[in-house]
Amino acid sequence: MARKSRRNLVEEQVIFSLREYRFGSYARLSVRSNKIKNDDSISHQLQRNGEFISRNLSGSILTGEYCDNGVSGTTFVEVR
């Protein structure tokens, strides 16, 4: 088998796609805290979620933080 000519070889161009991902952070505490507004546990969960996103998911943006204080994971309310 004959060798291919090197003159006509076209180098492959690598195209990198920079994509921006957006994330929301969610924290839940199933027992309502006695503290006013936010519980330390919820604040800690949101902080750790933000740290995880910035450390492990480059090119991503944390767009919102959501929390449920005193809501059990076993209850489900259907929204219509």
Q: In the chain, what percentage of residues exceed pLDDT 70?
A: 59
> Is residue 4, in this structure, part of any structural domain at all?
no
Per-residue model confidence (pLDDT) at position 64: 93
Angle, alpha carbons 43-46-47 (nearest 5°)? 85
pLDDT at 3 over 80: no
> Is residue 13, in this structure, part of any structural domain at all?
no
H helical segments located in 1-80: 40-56
> Is residue 5, in this structure, part of any structural domain at all?
no
> Is residue 31, in this structure, part of any structural domain at all?
yes
Mean of pLDDT values over 49-64: 88
pTM for the predicted model, two decimal places = 0.57
Overall domain count for the chain: 1
Instruction: Determine the structural domain holding residue 57 and report its residue range.
Output: 24-69
Q: 53, 23 in Cβ contact below 8 A?
A: yes
Which carries the bigger pLDDT value, residue 70 or residue 26? 26
> Is residue 55, in this structure, part of any structural domain at all?
yes
> Is residue 18, in this structure, part of any structural domain at all?
no
> Is residue 74, in this structure, part of any structural domain at all?
no
